[in-house]
Each structure stands twice: as C-alpha cells, then as structure tokens.
Amino acid sequence: MHFFLLQATEVNSASNYLPIGLQLIFAIGLVAVIIAGSNLLGPKRTTNDKLQNFESGIEIKGNARQPVAIKYFLVAILFVLFDVEVIFFYPYAVNFRELGWPGFIAVIVFVSLFITGLIYIFKKGALKWEE
C-alpha cells in the first residue's frame, strides 16, 4: 500500500511543473525584451500627419463617439452565444460511439436548453429591428 502512495506523489509533484514555469518566464522575458528593444532602438518621428488617425484615405468626419443602438450589441452577443454552442458539438461528434445513449441524451438536453433560450429571445423581441 505504501508503494502506491509513494508512486502517486512522485508522478504529480511540483518539480514536474518546473519546465513549464521556466518556459513561461522565458516567453514573458523575451516579449518584454523585444518590446523594450523596439521602443529604444526604433525611429521616433512624430509629426502631425503621423499622429492623426488613419481612416484608409477617407477624410475624418465628426466624432467617433456617437451613441450606437443597443440592438447591435445584443445581436453580436447572441451570435457569439449560439456560435460557441456549435463548438461543444465537436467533442460529441468525435466520440459519439464511445458516449453511447447517455451522451446522446446529454446532447439532446444541451440542444433543448439552447432552443428554449432561442424561443425566449424571440418572444422577448430581441431580434426585432423595427421599434
């Protein structure tokens, strides 16, 4: 019994994570050195033309800080919500034979929850543009 406990602690010890920590520290250090080096060694020519916003050659008209209808944000958030739903189908599609009927029932519950949410969104009128 002691052998199994000893082996379990050796497999998952803090020293196993040392290479990951060193790689993370090295990556953060490299990024910091590159950013600092480009800031110190790069050219610094600030003129009025360079400091002006670039709008793909189109003249700037007015202020960009104008109110936008909340409908745009609502549709964007709903799109992301229902788009991310599709990502959760991939593991099921890959392992559907191993998951069997319990996996199929879980996917049916998952889809029914999202369909319920979609019906709720339609009933609340979240996707109606004419108001």
Whether residue 131 is contained in a domain is answered as: no
Domain range for 57: 2-124
| Whether the predicted model's global pTM rises above the 0.75 cut | no
Question: Which CATH number is 80's domain given?
Answer: 1.20.58
Average pLDDT, the chain: 82
- The Cα 10–Cα 16 span in angstroms is 9
Residue 127 half-sphere exposure toward CB, CA atoms < 13 A = 11
Q: What is the pLDDT of residues 37-80, one digit of tens each?
A: 999 998 888 788 777 776 676 777 777 677 777 788 888 888 88
Tell me if 129 is assigned to some domain.
no
Q: Give the number of domains in the chain.
A: 1
Contact 85, 115 (CB under 8 A): no
